[in-house]
Amino acid sequence: MDNDIKIKDILLKFVEYKFYIYRKKYIILLFSLFCSAIGLIYVFFSEDTYNAELTFVVEADNGIPSSSALSGFANQFGIDFGSVEGSTFSNNNILQLLKSRVVVENALFQSAKVNGKDDLLIEHYININDLRDEWSDNKILNEFSFVNNNKSRLNDSITNVVWSQIIEEDLVIDLLDVDATIIKLSYNCVDEDFAIKFVNALIKEMSKMYVQNRTARANNTLSFLQNRADSVERELAIAEQNYALVKDVNRRIIKASGRLKEIQLLRNVEVLQAMYTEIIKNLEISKVTLLNQIPIINIIDTPKAPILKTQKSKKTTALICFILGFFLSIIYFVFRKFLKDIFSDK
């Protein structure tokens, strides 16, 4: 019986709220139209954006080929020529690398001609987005230039603001498909020329960092072998010269005991010659290894003018704002009546 009464009370309340909302229908309609008008005004005054898209794929060997001779020689010095494939630059990490501050900052500090004017990309960004107008009250910020202040604290602060705006609002990086290895880099900007130049600069900086990190170990090994080859070559030249001098002095000596120094120097020359030959062979192998290790970044599509222009739909915006205003007004009146009923019961 109590349950029936409760259900009945709920139904009565529902009908009561329904009629209450119906009585407010003109206010709800006016508010919805007002929201729709605000949406249209926003679309009318907002700037259209250009979407610059670049797709690429990274190709890298899963391991580094190595010969037994090179491995044996390298192991003597604690150098590992085995596979160096790791997860440092997997596709997922490349997505984050493209958004990292160091890559974006290096791209922004590249010089480029945008709309016929040569300047740093970060200066173009500030001018295009009217940031100096926002800094008009601050004389230091308004007169600041990155050309002459690239090491200052203010430089770092402004760069951090620009980097945050780019990665949070305009830069989208994702895989084209879950199972695919093709990566899409997309950047939105109100200036078409800047969007194209910035995307190209960004992929260039990412490629440079990627290659440097992937080939760091091989470059270190190559540098070590080159230094060792130069050192042994100098020692061999000195040993050969000393051997030739002693041999000239010992030309008239017949006894073997008198030629002992000559024999020792000859042995030293032969040992150094063998070492030098082996090092040179390993040096050439390490050069081939480095070439095999350098990853290839294949750019599939690059943005070219004219690029896709993103325009906000007036009809869609007006409809969304109308629906939003409709539901907000209903929620307002329901909540208002709910509070009114509570206080009236007291």
pLDDT tens figures, 40-91: 777 676 667 788 888 888 776 544 444 444 445 445 444 444 444 444 456 6
> How far is Cα 140 from Cα 152, in angstroms, rounded to an integer?
13
What separation in angstroms does the CA of 185 have from each of 162, 171, 180, 295? 18, 8, 15, 19
pLDDT tens figures, 146-160: 776 656 777 888 888
> How far is Cα 97 from Cα 209, in angstroms, rounded to an integer?
9
> How far is Cα 252 from Cα 193, in angstroms, rounded to an integer?
84
**Nearby residues of 82 by Cβ (< 8 Å), 6 or more positions away:** 63, 64, 66, 71
Q: Is 49-215+295-310 a CATH 3.30.1890 domain?
A: yes
Task: Taking residues 165-188, report their average pLDDT.
Answer: 82
Token pair 């009250």 is found at 137
**Average model confidence (pLDDT) for the chain?**
79
Q: Collect contacts of 338-346 with beta carbons under 8 A, ≥24 apart.
A: none
Which is higher by pLDDT, 14 or 32? Answer: 32
Would you list the domain boundaries of the chain?
A: 2-46+323-345, 49-215+295-310, 219-293
CB 97, CB 206: distance < 8 Å: yes
Single-letter amino acid, residue 216: A
Query: How many angstroms from the chain centroid is the CA of residue 271?
Result: 50
> How far is Cα 14 from Cα 6, in angstroms, rounded to an integer?
12
pLDDT tens figures, 197-255: 999 999 998 888 888 877 878 888 888 889 999 999 999 999 888 888 888 877 766 56
> What kind and span of H or E run contains 343?
helix 314-345
Supply 242's token pair: 């000393």
CB 50, CB 190: distance < 8 Å: yes
Q: Determine how many CB atoms are found less than 10 A away from the CB of residue 112.
A: 18
Q: What are phi and psi of 330, to 5 degrees?
A: -65, -45
Q: What is the pLDDT of residue 342?
A: 77
In this predicted structure, which of 12-21, 28-37, 262-271 has the lowest mean pLDDT?
12-21
In this predicted structure, which of 120-124, 134-138, 299-303, 325-329 has the lowest mean pLDDT?
134-138
Q: pTM value?
A: 0.61
pLDDT tens figures, 139-148: 777 777 777 6
DSSP labels, 216-231: HHHHHHHHHHHHHHHH
